[in-house]
A and B are shown apart, each in its own frame.
Chain A
Amino acid sequence: MRLIKCEKITGVVERMVIDANHYLPYDIFNCMKDAADKETTKKPKTILYKILENHKIAKKGTYPLCQDTGIAVVFLEVGNETATDGDIYKAVNKGVEAGYSKGFLRKSMADPLTRENTGTNTPAIIHTKLVKGPHIKISLMTKGAGAENKSALKMLNPSDGIEGIKKFVIETVKKAGASACPPFVIGIGIGGNMETCALLAKKSLMRELDDYNKSDKNAAKLENELFKEINRLNIGPLGFGGDTTALGVKIETKPCHIASLPVAVNIQCHSSRHKTFTI
């Protein structure tokens, strides 16, 4: 059994929320740079270079990439050979609170009914999975509302099939449009049940851009087809048209009821702020 101190978890999470808000993930940066070089029309090309310029300013550490520094979504993979010296959820929340405070990040967490701000950007949204081994893996996303608000879930009928899934995804992306800060990464969960497909969609956004679905070849094919179709929509960077509407399309699947076809589409903005760290 390996003892992992809560203090350690708090420190890692604190660092992660600050870093996620100041650095674009390298795959996003590279993909954006390629897209900027390839865009042929003036406005979208200018905007893609501006996104890169924004990153250049943010990485100096004074200003976060975006004023919506998001709410913290945390996936914990806890190894069965680990033990902690306290409440792991408290440790994560303490890290989020400290990171948002010390990093001068905006606190955006509020009571859903009174709308009163909790003042600490907590509670974080935490999902836990038990795995084998002596490690705790922390994957963290600081998710803004602009893109999250345009996400959607639909319980399709099995007869809707692949075409029905595509139609729903395309409709959702069109509705997201300019305000959700394209070019997007689009996370899609298919199957399971209502909450599972939403979680699959969210989780898929943690994958790297060049990581196609290797466990399900039908899903990989669909990722590729949707990627091409979405990039033909001419929404483009921040809605100004062009060839770059999606940086990536990620699909995760799970078996579902014979009568169901749940589909969730989680829209992620161009900065796709996330980090992973293993303790």
Chain B
Amino acid sequence: MKRITAPLDAETIDDLEVGDEVLISGVIYTMRDAAHAKVVEIIKKNGKLPFDLQNQVIYYCGPTPTKEGNVIGSCGPTTSSRMDVFTPLLLEHGLKGMIGKGERSVAVKDAIEKYGAVYFSAMGGLGAEYARDVKKSDVIAFPELGPEAIYKMEIEDFYAVVINDAKGNDFFVINQYN
């Protein structure tokens, strides 16, 4: 088990290999379908982004509503492949890490290698467990999108596995059934 901190520095990324189990602490941002579409539109129009993408980690997640007195609701990962169409542009603009579930497209895998990034799988369907790892959470953009808003999350010991490393390896291809 490797302990790493988000945002990710180059040294951390270089050290990660497919199949590595990691505990992530630090700051991450949630973004799913609707927020991706908006962010990509802003980039294309040279607008101001809701947060600086440099070295950041995006978590594909749309939490359940937060109950009073809690930090967040259930917050497991959603299917990453739906974001594939947006991802290469974000990587080009400094994004270094993504957390989701399932396989990525060839274009995304190529971009991960090209820009020296990393893709992690969190554990699908374990939203209640992940809620415990979130220590602070705030909606920082697009509140009108409800669960699809961008949440800035402070996490501690968030469990994930490296699926695509910066060297171009793919855990699912190495291990698998296809």
Using CB atoms and an 8 Å cutoff, list the residues of chain A in contact with chain B.
43, 47, 50-51, 53-55, 57-58, 62-69, 104-108, 115, 117, 145-146, 149, 174, 177-181, 233-235, 238-241, 269-271
Contacts and interface: CB of A to CB of B under 8 A. Distances in A.
A269 B64 CA distance: 18
Nearest to A179: B102
Contacts of B159: 50
B61 interface: yes
Interface in B99-128: 101-103, 121, 123-128
B79 to A, nearest CB: 4
24 contacts: A50-B159, A54-B129, A57-B131, A57-B132, A62-B67, A62-B70, A62-B128, A63-B64, A64-B74, A66-B128, A67-B64, A67-B73, A68-B78, A104-B64, A105-B64, A105-B65, A106-B147, A107-B146, A108-B147, A146-B101, A146-B124, A179-B81, A234-B175, A235-B177
A43 B161 CA distance: 10
Given A234-B177, A239-B102, A179 B80 contact: yes
Interface in B63-89: 63-67, 70, 73-76, 78-81
Interface residues of B, number: 40
A269 B121 CA distance: 16
A213 B80 CA distance: 35
Given A63-B128, A239-B102, 14 more contacts: A43-B161, A50-B129, A57-B131, A62-B70, A62-B128, A65-B125, A66-B74, A67-B63, A67-B75, A105-B64, A105-B65, A107-B146, A108-B147, A149-B79
Contacts of B46: none
Given A67-B75, A117-B146, A146-B78, A53 B127 contact: no
B60 to A, nearest CB: 10
B61 A67 contact: yes
Nearest to B80: A179
B101 A58 contact: no
A234 B175 CA distance: 9
Main secondary structure of the interface of A (DSSP, over half): loop
B157 to A, nearest CB: 13
Contacts of A63: 64, 73-74, 127-128, 131
Contact of B121 (A57, A178, A241): A178
Name the 10 nearest CB pairs between A and B, nearest first: A179-B102, A63-B128, A181-B124, A67-B127, A57-B128, A58-B128, A67-B74, A179-B79, A54-B126, A106-B64
A270 B123 CA distance: 12
Contacts of B131: 57, 62-63
B62 interface: yes
A57 B124 contact: no
B118 to A, nearest CB: 17
A68 B159 CA distance: 19
Given A146-B101, A177-B102, A104 B129 contact: no
Interface in B147-162: 147, 159, 161
Most buried by B among A50, A54, A117, A235: A54
A181 B63 contact: no
Contacts of A47: 123
Contacts of B63: 67, 106
B43 interface: no
B142 interface: no
Contacts of A238: 101, 121, 123-125
A36 B123 CA distance: 15
A102 B79 CA distance: 27
